[in-house]
């Protein structure tokens, strides 16, 4: 493996996972794995440039329409693309359409960079994962096929035991904690050929005593009130958590100007 890659720029494309929810910083903004990865790459490469076009709640059609052409035009060394998972979580999901849109995105992005990175997204253990697992695995099979066809790297987060652990997920049960994002950044870092800083990022987290029944039910009620009901409300009204929000880092600029 090449442990001295010379990538000078990174563009991240996607939804809330790539925006960085729920890795919350003290100022109320989100950091996330892509920012962490960019910081590491910038430390190795003077003049390193970074853009993050991701916006929470985006479906694959919106990612293709709003982000893909912009990212392709930037001419970055590395582009990461993670999308389609929001589609699979919708009650009505046309997987044929999702696969076609993902293929369109890859066909535009792969020739526009030195290295395209795709991912098999992580999934939290629980009933939500079990309900939507067939769609997710269909999406990931498409990712694998497109990567093989276009020379992209696939980072398998779905197969990492550590990232299926509920303790790696925020109280909304949809987004990773800061530690989860750190592990994703490490996974992509290694996939790009850099020397590992954490060789055990994918291994299971040490076991702890589970919370008692009362604490679990209280957490369930809090989750339903604060996250599940608003999510259902947005689905019923056709709204998205990302409506009206701009990309977090819309221009490919030197990392030190963004940090």
Total tally of structural domains belonging to the chain:
1
* 209 — pLDDT class (breaks 50, 70, 90): low
pLDDT, residue 226, reads 58
| Residue 181 predicted with pLDDT over 90 | yes
Please check whether residue 125 lies inside any domain of the structure.
yes
pLDDT, residue 256, reads 79
Q: What is the CATH classification number for the domain harbouring 19?
A: 3.40.50.1110
Least confident of 4-8, 36-40, 142-146, 160-164: 4-8
C-alpha to C-alpha distance for 117 and 109, rounded to whole angstroms? 10
Based on the number of CB atoms within 10 Å of its own CB, is 238 exposed (0-12), middle (13-18) or buried (19 or more)?
exposed
pLDDT, residue 143, reads 98
The predicted-structure confidence for 132-163, as pLDDT tens digits, reads as follows 899 999 999 999 999 999 999 999 999 999 99
Quote the mean pLDDT of the chain.
88
C-alpha to C-alpha distance for 13 and 104, rounded to whole angstroms? 14
* 222 — pLDDT class (breaks 50, 70, 90): low
Residue 158, domain extent? 9-210+246-257
């Amino acid at each position: 493996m090449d442990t001295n890659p010379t990538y000078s720029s990174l563009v991240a494309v996607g939804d809330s996972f790539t925006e960085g929810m729920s890795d919350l910083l003290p100022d109320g903004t989100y950091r996330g794995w892509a920012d962490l990865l960019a910081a590491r790459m910038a430390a190795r490469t003077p003049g390193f440039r970074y853009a993050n076009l991701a916006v929470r709640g985006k479906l694959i059609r919106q990612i293709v329409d709003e982000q893909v052409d912009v990212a392709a035009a930037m001419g970055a060394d590395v582009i990461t693309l993670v999308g389609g998972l929001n589609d699979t979580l919708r009650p009505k999901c046309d997987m044929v359409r999702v696969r076609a849109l993902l293929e369109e995105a890859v066909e535009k992005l792969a020739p526009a960079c030195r290295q395209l990175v795709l991912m098999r997204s992580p999934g939290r253990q629980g009933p939500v994962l079990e309900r939507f697992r067939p769609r997710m695995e269909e999406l990931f099979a498409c990712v694998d096929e497109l990567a093989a066809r276009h020379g992209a790297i696939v980072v398998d987060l779905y197969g990492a035991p550590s990232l299926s652990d509920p303790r790696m997920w925020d109280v909304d049960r949809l987004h990773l904690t800061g530690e989860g994002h750190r592990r994703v950044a490490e996974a992509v870092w290694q996939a790009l050929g850099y020397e590992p800083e954490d060789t055990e990022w994918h291994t299971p987290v040490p076991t702890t005593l589970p919370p008692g029944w009362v604490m679990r039910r209280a957490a369930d009620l809090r989750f339903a009130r604060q996250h599940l009901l608003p999510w259902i409300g947005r689905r019923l009204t056709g709204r998205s958590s990302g409506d009206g929000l701009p990309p977090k880092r819309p221009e490919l600029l030197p990392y030190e100007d963004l940090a």
